Amino acid sequence: MNFLSHYYFERENQNENEVIGTVLPDLVKNAHKDWNLYPQKREEVFTTDLLLSSILTGWKRHLKIDVLFHSSDFFNYHTASLKPLLLPILKNSPVRPSFLAHISVELLLDHLLVVEEKIDVNSFYIHLNNVDSIKLDTFLKKCGAENTDHFFVFLNKFISSRYLLSYQKLENISYALQRICMRLWANPFDEKTVLLLTEKLEIYKEELEKDYMKIFEEIELVLSSEI
């Protein structure tokens, strides 16, 4: 799941440290693709500090949600259904159709949450802005992270740009997908393909929006049963 889908499960959570924890694995990978952090394997390092422990709680929830989502019938069905729609526009592209279908489903979920007002995106950014940066820096360093200055440059730009608000428009989802693919392939697809991708996403959005809340309800039920 992507940023806003993870935030859906924290939409009523007033603990900004848990909130940022739930999106921190993705923030880290966006800022430093070479970082491999596993704080969940060294919980004792964080439990003596309430704020660090809260960030870890969010981090672990992120991992749990991703496991539930990627192992769900919903995910398998929709990625398999979207893939054939994408195949024709990827004939001259190095991008794997299965990969693009995977991340397209995730970003379409974010899009639907925004346009159907299931979450308040501004509240998400307020939570991120209220996080104690010193504690967050401590958390990252206890995970073994180096050069955290670069991470905070990325995080500050991520917050100030309010980029996720642009997910209201489907064409911005296509450009986001293009940028994600550019991390793996030098020339994933051209502008014409981006336009075609938007057309395909528009078609599939009609299918996805019929039952997209089902996966959130299923995951939420599992999470609530573990409290």
Q: At what angle do helices 191-208 and 73-86 cross, to 10 degrees?
A: 140
Mean local confidence (pLDDT), 93-109 = 96
Q: Which amino acid is at 15?
A: N
What's the rounded Cα separation, in Å, for the pair 127 and 129? 5
What is the Cα–Cα distance from 22 to 26, expressed in whole angstroms?
9
Quote the DSSP letter at residue 49.
S
Structure confidence by residue, pLDDT tens digits, 127-177? 999 999 999 999 999 999 988 999 999 999 999 999 999 999 999 999 999
Distances (CA, A) of 133 to 23, 46, 201, 205: 15, 16, 37, 37
What is this structure's pTM?
0.94
Decide: 150 and 31 in contact? Cβ < 8 Å.
yes
Q: Name the strand (E) or helix (H) holding 212.
A: none
